Amino acid sequence: MILIKNKAELSKYLPRSQLAFVPTMGNLHEGHIALIKHAQKYNSPTICSIFVNKLQFGPNEDFDKYPRTLNQDIDLLEKNHCDFLFIPDEEHFKEIKLYRADSALSKILCGAIRPTHFDGVVSVLHWLVKLIRPTYLFMGQKDFQQIKIVERFMAMHFAQVQLIEVPTEREADGVAKSSRNNLLTATQRKLAPRLYQVLLNATSMIENKNIDEITKFVNDELNQAGFDVDYVEIKSRLNLLDPNPSMSDAILLCAARLGEVRLIDNIFIK
Ligand code: AMP
């Protein structure tokens, strides 16, 4: 794997062929590797980026404490045959122009609690995509709202890039893989699988319950299990508006906290 740290090295090493791009903030785990493996199916060299994006952290979110595990990340990427790793220095922050994420999509769900988060996401993505010029961009369905926002943003700014959604990679007990899982205490880790179990149970209610009944069920079950629920909502997976009456396009999205650790997950209902 070739390590690239700046623009000069990007133009020196990156081939002019098609490129499959996986942006990350590092502290890589099997969820990120699922994106790399998916990208490798596209018969193009794969480039991963690791950049802890200060702009997507809110004032009360701890940018300085975000885990940085570069050597471990490099080992994992090499083991999985990633071709290039772009690790721009933090000094690059000053080059990044600010863009706004779609206002309707970015102020609901996670955006209601993290109002500037998605502006930060799209600003850094714009900067990275402009430098790397990938053919394909891979993002995880775990962050479903992010995918919808990026989809709209890319259509406006980089319509030639194909955004590919990758299904959520889970632990054997159903917990979506995430760096945040390491922050759970042993007791909280035992509770964590309940989140996905409750979402799964909710999908079987679709034929005889309405949206309010299903979201109330999820809320109640999670509260009872010891979660503090931030939101439970059923939306259309096409545009995050209301789903159609048959719910054939519906996705159930949830954010809930165990202590200080905020977990998000989602499931397609049909
Ligand atoms: P992050 O480093 O948290 O910014 O995540 C980088 C990318 O990895 C995003 O597109 C995430 O959606 C994706 N990702 C993180 N966890 C998972 C997972 N468990 N399964 C699939 N994709 C994931």
pLDDT tens across 136-155, in order?
A: 999 999 999 999 999 999 99
Average pLDDT, the chain: 96
Please tell me the predicted confidence (pLDDT) of residue 72. Answer: 98
Residue 112 has pLDDT above 90, yes or no: yes
Residues of the chain with pLDDT > 90, as a percent, come to: 94
Residue keyed to tokens 């890039």: 161
Q: How far does residue 213's CA lie from ligand 1's centre (Å)?
A: 30
Mean pLDDT of 191-217: 96
Closest-lying ligand 1 atom to the alpha carbon of residue 25:
2
Cα-to-centroid distance, 15 and ligand 1 (Å): 25
Pocket of ligand 1, candidates 32, 36, 57, 66: which has the most ligand atoms within 8 Å of its Cβ, to mutate? Answer: 32
User: So what's the pLDDT on residue 261?
Assistant: 95
Ligand 1 pocket test, pick from 21, 24, 264 with the greatest ligand atom count within 8 Å of Cβ, gives 24
Ligand 1 atom showing the smallest separation from residue 27 Cα: 2
pLDDT class for 90, splitting at 50, 70, 90?
Answer: confident
Nearest atom, ligand 1, residue 176 CA: 19
pLDDT per position as a tens digit, 153-196: 999 999 999 999 999 999 999 999 999 999 999 999 999 999 99
Query: 34-64, pLDDT tens digit by residue?
Result: 999 999 999 999 999 999 999 999 988 889 9
**pLDDT one-digit tens code per residue, 9-22:** 999 999 999 999 99
Percent of the chain with pLDDT over 70: 100
Q: State pTM to two decimals.
A: 0.97
Pocket of ligand 1 (CB under 6 A): 24-25, 31-32, 34-35, 139-140, 142-143, 166, 168-169, 176-178
| Alpha-carbon span 184 to 191, nearest angstrom | 10
- Report pLDDT for 93: 82
Checking if the pLDDT of 92 tops 90, the result is no
- When pLDDT is cut at 50, 70 and 90, the band that residue 109 belongs to is very high
Our answer to whether residue 32 is catalytic in this structure is yes
CA 93 to chain centre: 21
